[in-house]
């Protein structure tokens, strides 16, 4: 059911800029980022832990006439590649699903060539600790595979803590991605009790109550909508 919003991936690629050489997309899912990279890279490896996701990614790429993507199943915490194998190593919308994101980012850095880039694109949480905690609570209610969002600083910290990088200054750009709340929950078949709680919290914030960190509002159709904040953090492997 999920259909990636073109403005979101366009934003990510505008932040990434020019890419070339061989790329690895970690936790590639349905291959949205891998396909975007394939337009400029010689080869892209779409790496994911879910066979069904990779199969869907491959079908989509074939339908679009994209033939320079390879698909590999495996564990992102133990990437089956030699040190310094790729010019570009990316992960999009996956950090908030990882139980130990630091270990995975360290692996991403290991397989990146010196002078290459490691790129993290994800939704980010508010710097306010209470709002951050409430965002994670609602995200987990909606999808238990969610572990925790990070802040923009948290994304950069994940890169810096590998100790092998020159973290790039952030552009200052954050994409505010509107999502229909019903569509968002339908995608994960969220149980009714959880849907009711999420809806209650959004409606309470609209009425001036506790902030969720997700900035709910009613769209032009009067439908409950909220915002995901997309950011991109990048580092050069040294």
DSSP label at 213?
Answer: S
Tokens at residue 102, please?
Answer: 């630091």
Q: Which residue ranges form the domains of the chain, and what is each CATH number?
A: 6-127+144-176+231-237 (3.40.50.150)
Average the pLDDT over 7-30 and give the result: 95
Q: Is the pLDDT of residue 238 over 90?
A: yes
Q: What is the DSSP string of 113-175?
A: EEEEEEEEEEEB--SSHHHHHHHHHHHHHH-TT----B-HHHHHHHHHTTSSEEEPPP-S--E
| pLDDT class of 120 with cuts at 50, 70, 90 | very high
Tens-place pLDDT, residues 22-44? 999 999 999 999 999 999 999 99
């Amino acid at each position: 059911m999920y259909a990636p919003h073109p403005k979101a991936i366009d934003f990510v690629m505008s932040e990434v800029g020019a890419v070339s050489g061989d790329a690895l997309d970690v936790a590639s899912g349905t291959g949205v980022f891998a396909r975007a990279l394939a337009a400029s890279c010689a080869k892209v490896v779409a790496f994911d832990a879910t066979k069904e996701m990779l199969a869907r990614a491959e079908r989509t790429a074939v339908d679009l006439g994209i033939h320079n993507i390879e698909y590999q199943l495996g564990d992102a915490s133990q990437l089956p590649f030699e040190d310094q194998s790729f010019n570009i190593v990316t992960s999009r919308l996956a950090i908030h699903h990882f139980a130990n994101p630091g270990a995975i980012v360290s692996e991403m850095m290991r397989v990146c060539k010196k002078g290459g880039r490691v790129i993290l694109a994800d939704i980010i949480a508010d710097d306010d600790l209470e709002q951050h905690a409430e965002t994670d609570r609602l995200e987990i209610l909606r999808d238990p595979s969610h572990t925790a969002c990070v802040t923009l600083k948290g994304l950069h910290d994940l890169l810096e803590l590998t100790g092998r990088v020159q973290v790039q200054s952030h552009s200052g750009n954050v994409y505010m991605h509107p999502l229909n709340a019903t569509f968002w929950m339908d995608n994960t078949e969220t149980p009714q009790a959880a849907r009711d709680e999420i809806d209650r919290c959004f409606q309470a914030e609209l009425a001036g109550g506790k902030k969720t960190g997700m900035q709910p509002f009613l769209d032009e159709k009067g439908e409950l909508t909220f915002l995901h904040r997309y950011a991109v953090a990048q580092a050069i492997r040294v």
